[in-house]
Structure 1
C-alpha cells in the first residue's frame, strides 16, 4: 500500500521538477546565482537526479549508478532539454525500482547510513521524498526571482 503512495508522490514531484525546468523562459537563467542564492536551479536539478539515482537506483535497484556529487554543484550550462531528459529517466527508474520492492523490503534496514544513523528503507524513502519536495520548491523560487 505505501509503495503505491510513494510511487504516486515521487511521480508527482518529479513531474513538478520537470515543469519548473521547462518554465524557465531564458535557458541561461537556469544557471544564475545571486549573492544570497548560491545554488542555481540547474545545479539543484542535477543534485536531485544524482541523489535519487544513488540512494534509490544504485542502492535499492542495483542500477550501478555512480554518483559524482561534486559535479552536481559545479557543472554549468547543461541544456534545458538534457536536464528534462535526466528528470524523466530518474522518474522511470524510481517507478521501476519501487515496483520491485515489497512491503517486507520497506521494513528492512536501509543498507547505508546517509543520515548518520540506522533506519528502515521505508523511513529513508520518505526522507528522500521530503528532500525532493524541498529542492523543487527552491527551484520554483529561483526561477521566479532570477529568470530574466
Structure 2
C-alpha cells in the first residue's frame, strides 16, 4: 500500500462530501431528521470532519485539533458554506500529513488505542477510508430521500 493511494482515496471522498453537502437544494434539509433517521447529513459531515481531524490530524500529524464528539451530533444549522470550508480545511490537513508520511510509517504501531487492541497506522488509515465512505453513502441517501 502506498501513501499516494490513501491520499487519492481521502481526497476523492472528501471532495465528494463537499459536493454532497453543496447539492442540498434546500439548506435546512441538511439538518433534517425523520422517523428512524436519527443523524442528519450535516451531523454526519461534522462527525467525519471531527473523526479525520482527530485520527489523522491530531494523532498522526500532531496538530492541535481538539475534538468535541458530542457537538458533532448535537450542533444544528451550521451554514452550508461553513461545512464546506471545514471540509476544505480538512483536505489541507490530510494532504499536508500524507505529504510527510513514508511507507515505513504505515507499518508502525499507531500510538493510540482506537480499537480493542493496538493496530498499525496502515490499518487505522484503511479503517478511516471505509468509515468515510460509509457515512458519505448515508449522506448521499439522506440528501436524495429528504431534500425534495
Fold equivalence (TM over 0.5): yes
Displacement of 1:92: 1.0
Aligned residue for 1:42, secondary structure, equals helix
Aligned residue for 1:119?
119
Mind listing any 5+ residue stretches in structure 1 that lack a counterpart?
A: none
Aligned residue for 2:8?
8
Aligned residue for 1:60, secondary structure, equals coil
RMSD over aligned CA atoms reads 0.8
Displacement of 1:115: 1.6
Aligned residue for 1:85?
85
Aligned residue for 1:48?
48
Q: Which runs of 4+ in 1 moved over 6 A?
A: none
Give deviations 1:65-123, integer Å, cap 9, x for gaps.
00000000000000001000001110111010011011111100001121221110011
Aligned residue for 2:63, secondary structure, equals coil
Give me the whole-angstrom Cα distance separating, in 1, the residues matched to 2:54 and 2:116: 17
Matches within 5 A, 1:49-68: 49-68=49-68
Aligned residue for 2:115, secondary structure, equals coil
TM-score (norm 1): 0.98
Give me the whole-angstrom Cα distance separating, in 2, the residues matched to 1:24 and 1:115: 34
Displacement of 1:42: 0.1
Give me the whole-angstrom Cα distance separating, in 1, the residues matched to 2:137 and 2:60: 26
Aligned residue for 1:21?
21
Give me the whole-angstrom Cα distance separating, in 2, the residues matched to 1:117 and 1:127: 14
Aligned residue for 2:132, secondary structure, equals helix
Tell me the matched-pair count: 148
Give me the whole-angstrom Cα distance separating, in 1, the residues matched to 2:117 and 2:20: 33
Give deviations 1:25-80, integer Å, cap 9, x for gaps.
00000000011100000000000000000000001111110000000000000000
Give me the whole-angstrom Cα distance separating, in 2, the residues matched to 1:48 and 1:111: 21
Aligned residue for 2:97?
97
TM-score (norm 2): 0.98
